[in-house]
Chains A and B, each alone.
Chain A
């Protein structure tokens, strides 16, 4: 199977949108394109399993490698392993549901125009960046796609957002570009310390993974790469773009931000920082754990204080993404699997959450908890979906959140040091806090008496919203009830990364 399709089809879809006229055509083309992407990712999954079943044991399959800038040793190199496959699936889910949720283009620009063409173009173009990032096996290609996914977010938030949208958009763009500036320094540092044998350097991830980069170099450049990607993944002191960005963005853009963009960071930390610089990953492991524990707890407590539904979900994202970084910091195979599972799970769950909040906002025109109440009576579907997202968020068994978090915790128990156990216990404590704010939100907004009389006239979800929510719920439950398939998918990928790390420890 040609892996290039996974970039070309989203790209063609987004370009096709530019040639459409009127909202109806635009959204139809977007829907078709997004549906093809979802189907394609399932076909890819099937082909992946087939390859594996046929005994293909190479780390990455469907590789495609051509020289791009030969004098600089830059290649266009793509390929997937289980981890990238999981991320591709996640992306295609989010893209399709994002398109469905924005079916009616609720948000108008400040000029009062629809600009539907531009909206869907940017949305789909963001997807191109994400797909490309997840399948890149060359650091240059990876960096290219990473930056590709930033500016569409700026425009999406700034043009169609709400609240202090310009501020949030600018903050997001600058912080993310700052992150990628750090990533760039890390990549350049790595590049000039590789040696392919004949004195030339390489950007190829697979080749670098085989080499042993000098430990001093790793120690110098690991922080650049990790913090750089960490900014994308809401690493603790650099998470401040998350709440503002998410809450100002239009619904679909929030879903993309939380569901895809933040995953770029986690994936980058894993694939570039940890995989290529295992020594340094060991060396800095404790710092990562401490910082991510702070993020988990701080995020949870900060959420308790929020009254705006979107802020609640945004801060809880900081807390949940902390688990991703915690899993990466713990450095055991189970924990790594847990981290990737948490990425997928959090992506689906937050997207569902934001979709629900968007639907509620479209109808009630408020996101303040105090002005909501008793929604279950008037819109049972949306409310039930909201409750499901909430329960998944607080880690109820049967939903994906539970599986992912438990895997991370179990992974930490594989480390014998007491430090890891303390960290895990601290992180576990956040679950209680999560339960508090989730249950409180559900109790206030969904249950209880109807807050305002005019709410009784509101309609429940339309077909497109039902589809969007159902798709995401299917994903969440499929992971929650039968986690093995995802585990098997991610397992070998995590094993490759682990084997690199174990090698290093022995050499030491």
Chain B
């Protein structure tokens, strides 16, 4: 009996257990060998990730507030994987940091929040999970304790999060007023498209827009990403964004299916703006972190196209793309993080002539960037192709063939985005630099994360079984 319940919240439980273990470690001895502590935590995360594949159950808990099934377990495990990779990558940075355990406590509590958010079957539960995942993030953004920009980033993050949560909550409460329920299934039957419902949906979507930084709600992104430590930046741009998008897809498809005409048009505008403005800003960035931040804004635009597909293919492509996006973006962030931790260099100009002393790191960065740009044979190509294909598959209700217009804009935006990715490639391989970055020594943990990322990028695309599996779950 009890074991059944525990099995349903297994993923959440494991993360909570790891948090408790860390808490007890904190209570104990004062001085610890940081390296072995980090290795120990990484092992815990590996166990957490591997166990995510087993004993997954289906069912609901807490009076229909919480639900889980294979698809949701998979989504959670994708986030587990991302967290593991980030933890491996930040080894170099954390080694010199005083508050390792606090860092992981906060990190894992956001992860826990995301899990609850993904598993929510009720808007209240969703909101609870969301808050649990956002507030520790602001503390994390402040983790470069000596840097002023880091505090600034934290302040900006918490303010914009609070504002967007306000919008979301406003939308939710209006939705409750209009329908009298917050349960997903009941909501989906009650929605008929009355003006109040549409207004509340718009509030709701705007709140989401803030969270995954769609244009015009993206302005907090660049400063926060630049100011935060690289590990937190990558966590924000990959894991936190991925989790929100998972929820967004499932909420749209499950709850708001009845008013899909409304949100199709909304997503159309959002995605065109997001791609276009994200790309335009990314074009001229000099700081690598800022550059990756804006490129990740543009990536969201592509993901939104997949969501407009409103089909199993749409939902599957989004999840598949986020998996690939984790590999590609973390590959890029990993290199930037390592170089920044060892040499302190973060601008594009510093990367000129990078290939001279750092062959392997250059290739990792190049492959990741190619994957982000969607160049075969990397997985990014497959991910983007399927997203756009899903978007094109939506039969348009008006005579305008909006779906084809959308993918034409998207395809051309891919070319724009290619320019700035190639700019980095050009800096690495082609530009002359009298004083290139010295050989960056990489240790076991970052190397392992690079291997995972590159293998993921090169294999995920060809091995169609990953996509087939996701598709079978979505159906």
Select the stretch in A184-192, A433-441, A495-503 that faces chain B.
Answer: A184-192
**List of A residues within 8 angstroms of B407 by Cβ:** 184-185, 188
Give, as a whole number of angstroms, the nearest-CB distance from A245 to chain B: 14
Given A70-B468, A111-B356, residue A159 in contact with residue B429 (CB < 8 A): yes
Checking A71, A170, A182, A185 against B422 with a beta-carbon cut-off of 8 angstroms, the contacting residue is A170
- With an 8 A cutoff between CB atoms, is B440 at the interface? no
Interface size on B, residues (CB 8 A): 38
Check if A70 sits within 8 Å of B381, measured CB to CB. no
**List of B residues within 8 angstroms of A71 by Cβ:** 312-313, 316, 467-468, 471-472
Given A111-B432, A148-B377, A151-B375, residue A68 in contact with residue B464 (CB < 8 A): yes
Checking A151, A191, A220 against B389 with a beta-carbon cut-off of 8 angstroms, the contacting residue is A191
Select the stretch in A173-181, A337-345, A351-359, A396-404 that faces chain B.
Answer: A173-181
Check if A144 sits within 8 Å of B381, measured CB to CB. yes
Given A69-B464, A159-B429, residue A185 in contact with residue B408 (CB < 8 A): yes
Kindly state the separation between the CA atoms of A260 and B392 in the bound complex, as whole angstroms.
31
Checking A174, A184, A189, A192 against B418 with a beta-carbon cut-off of 8 angstroms, the contacting residue is A174
Give, as a whole number of angstroms, the nearest-CB distance from A388 to chain B: 35
- With an 8 A cutoff between CB atoms, is A158 at the interface? yes
Kindly state the separation between the CA atoms of A147 and B374 in the bound complex, as whole angstroms.
10
Given A71-B467, A185-B407, residue A148 in contact with residue B415 (CB < 8 A): no
Q: Using a CB-CB cutoff of 8 Å, which residues 439-475 of chain B contact chain A?
A: 464, 467-468, 471-472
Check if A72 sits within 8 Å of B392, measured CB to CB. no
- With an 8 A cutoff between CB atoms, is B339 at the interface? no
Kindly state the separation between the CA atoms of A150 and B418 in the bound complex, as whole angstroms.
12
Check if A166 sits within 8 Å of B426, measured CB to CB. yes
Check if B370 sits within 8 Å of A185, measured CB to CB. no
Q: Among the interface residues A147, A151, A166, A224, which one has the most CB atoms of the partner chain B within 10 A?
A: A151
CB-based A-B contact count at 8 angstroms: 96
Check if A174 sits within 8 Å of B415, measured CB to CB. yes
- With an 8 A cutoff between CB atoms, is B412 at the interface? yes
- With an 8 A cutoff between CB atoms, is B176 at the interface? no
**B-facing mask of A49-90, CB < 8 A → 1, else 0?**
000000000000000000011111000000000000000000
- With an 8 A cutoff between CB atoms, is B353 at the interface? yes
- With an 8 A cutoff between CB atoms, is A346 at the interface? no
**List of A residues within 8 angstroms of B430 by Cβ:** 109-110, 158-159, 165-166, 169
Checking A69, A150, A178 against B412 with a beta-carbon cut-off of 8 angstroms, the contacting residue is A178
**List of A residues within 8 angstroms of B316 by Cβ:** 71
**B-facing mask of A150-174, CB < 8 A → 1, else 0?**
1100110011000001100110011
Give, as a whole number of angstroms, the nearest-CB distance from B295 to chain A: 16
Give, as a whole number of angstroms, the nearest-CB distance from B419 to chain A: 6
Check if B419 sits within 8 Å of A69, measured CB to CB. no
Check if B376 sits within 8 Å of A148, measured CB to CB. yes
Kindly state the separation between the CA atoms of A93 and B274 in the bound complex, as whole angstroms.
46
Given A159-B429, A189-B404, residue A181 in contact with residue B412 (CB < 8 A): yes
Kindly state the separation between the CA atoms of A148 and B385 in the bound complex, as whole angstroms.
14
Check if A111 sits within 8 Å of B353, measured CB to CB. yes
Q: Among the interface residues A148, A169, A177, which one has the most CB atoms of the partner chain B within 10 A?
A: A177
Kindly state the separation between the CA atoms of A169 and B316 in the bound complex, as whole angstroms.
36
- With an 8 A cutoff between CB atoms, is A417 at the interface? no
- With an 8 A cutoff between CB atoms, is B393 at the interface? yes
Kindly state the separation between the CA atoms of A174 and B415 in the bound complex, as whole angstroms.
6
Chain A interface size, as a band, is 35 or more
**List of A residues within 8 angstroms of B471 by Cβ:** 71
Checking A165, A170, A185 against B404 with a beta-carbon cut-off of 8 angstroms, the contacting residue is A185
**List of A residues within 8 angstroms of B353 by Cβ:** 111
**List of A residues within 8 angstroms of B464 by Cβ:** 68-70
**List of B residues within 8 angstroms of A220 by Cβ:** 404
**List of B residues within 8 angstroms of A198 by Cβ:** none
Select from chain A the residue with minimum beta-carbon distance to B436: A111
- With an 8 A cutoff between CB atoms, is B18 at the interface? no
**List of A residues within 8 angstroms of B46 by Cβ:** none
Kindly state the separation between the CA atoms of A169 and B467 in the bound complex, as whole angstroms.
34
Check if B377 sits within 8 Å of A113, measured CB to CB. no
Kindly state the separation between the CA atoms of A424 and B389 in the bound complex, as whole angstroms.
41
Check if A177 sits within 8 Å of B414, measured CB to CB. yes
Checking B370, B408, B431 against A151 with a beta-carbon cut-off of 8 angstroms, the contacting residue is B370
Kindly state the separation between the CA atoms of A109 and B408 in the bound complex, as whole angstroms.
37
- With an 8 A cutoff between CB atoms, is B280 at the interface? no
Kindly state the separation between the CA atoms of A159 and B353 in the bound complex, as whole angstroms.
11
- With an 8 A cutoff between CB atoms, is B259 at the interface? no
- With an 8 A cutoff between CB atoms, is B276 at the interface? no
Kindly state the separation between the CA atoms of A191 and B408 in the bound complex, as whole angstroms.
15
Kindly state the separation between the CA atoms of A9 and B123 in the bound complex, as whole angstroms.
56
Check if B429 sits within 8 Å of A155, measured CB to CB. yes
**List of A residues within 8 angstroms of B426 by Cβ:** 158, 166, 169-170
**List of B residues within 8 angstroms of A145 by Cβ:** 376
**List of B residues within 8 angstroms of A150 by Cβ:** 375
Given A71-B471, A111-B356, A188-B392, residue A147 in contact with residue B411 (CB < 8 A): no
- With an 8 A cutoff between CB atoms, is B388 at the interface? yes
- With an 8 A cutoff between CB atoms, is B386 at the interface? yes
Kindly state the separation between the CA atoms of A166 and B356 in the bound complex, as whole angstroms.
18
Select from chain A the residue with minimum beta-carbon distance to B395: A192
Give, as a whole number of angstroms, the nearest-CB distance from A137 to chain B: 18
Give, as a whole number of angstroms, the nearest-CB distance from A384 to chain B: 36
Give, as a whole number of angstroms, the nearest-CB distance from A201 to chain B: 8
Check if A178 sits within 8 Å of B468, measured CB to CB. no
Give, as a whole number of angstroms, the nearest-CB distance from A141 to chain B: 11
Check if B467 sits within 8 Å of A181, measured CB to CB. no
Select from chain A the residue with minimum beta-carbon distance to B472: A71
Given A72-B313, A182-B411, residue A158 in contact with residue B429 (CB < 8 A): yes
**List of B residues within 8 angstroms of A111 by Cβ:** 353, 355-356, 432
Check if B392 sits within 8 Å of A192, measured CB to CB. yes
Checking B375, B388, B425, B432 against A184 with a beta-carbon cut-off of 8 angstroms, the contacting residue is B388
Q: Using a CB-CB cutoff of 8 Å, which residues 185-206 of chain B contact chain A?
A: none
Check if B411 sits within 8 Å of A184, measured CB to CB. yes
**List of B residues within 8 angstroms of A143 by Cβ:** 385
Select from chain A the residue with minimum beta-carbon distance to B470: A71
**List of B residues within 8 angstroms of A185 by Cβ:** 404, 407-408, 411
Given A110-B432, A111-B432, A158-B430, residue A188 in contact with residue B389 (CB < 8 A): yes
Kindly state the separation between the CA atoms of A220 and B408 in the bound complex, as whole angstroms.
13
Kindly state the separation between the CA atoms of A188 and B425 in the bound complex, as whole angstroms.
29
Select from chain A the residue with minimum beta-carbon distance to B467: A69
Give, as a whole number of angstroms, the nearest-CB distance from B411 to chain A: 4
Kindly state the separation between the CA atoms of A144 and B275 in the bound complex, as whole angstroms.
23
Give, as a whole number of angstroms, the nearest-CB distance from B320 to chain A: 10
Give, as a whole number of angstroms, the nearest-CB distance from A389 to chain B: 30
Kindly state the separation between the CA atoms of A224 and B412 in the bound complex, as whole angstroms.
12
Kindly state the separation between the CA atoms of A319 and B408 in the bound complex, as whole angstroms.
30
Select from chain B the residue with minimum beta-carbon distance to A147: B376
Select from chain A the residue with minimum beta-carbon distance to B355: A111
Check if A147 sits within 8 Å of B432, measured CB to CB. no
**List of A residues within 8 angstroms of B386 by Cβ:** 69, 72
**List of A residues within 8 angstroms of B419 by Cβ:** 170, 174
Kindly state the separation between the CA atoms of A354 and B426 in the bound complex, as whole angstroms.
25
Give, as a whole number of angstroms, the nearest-CB distance from B384 to chain A: 9
Kindly state the separation between the CA atoms of A181 and B78 in the bound complex, as whole angstroms.
30
**A-facing mask of B354-380, CB < 8 A → 1, else 0?**
011000000000000010000111000
Kindly state the separation between the CA atoms of A68 and B385 in the bound complex, as whole angstroms.
14
What are 20 A-B interface contacts by the 8 Å CB criterion?
A69-B464, A69-B467, A71-B312, A72-B389, A110-B430, A110-B432, A111-B355, A113-B356, A144-B376, A155-B425, A158-B430, A159-B430, A174-B415, A174-B418, A177-B414, A177-B415, A181-B412, A181-B415, A188-B389, A224-B408
Q: A71-B467, A111-B356, A144-B376 are known contacts; what are 5 more A-B pairs with Cβ within 8 Å?
A: A72-B313, A150-B375, A170-B419, A184-B385, A188-B392
By Cβ-Cβ distance, the 5 closest A-B pairs, closest first, are A181-B411, A188-B392, A71-B471, A158-B430, A148-B376
- Which residues of B does A touch, CB under 8 Å? 312-313, 316, 353, 355-356, 370, 375-377, 381, 385-386, 388-389, 392-393, 404, 407-408, 411-412, 414-415, 418-419, 422, 425-426, 429-432, 464, 467-468, 471-472
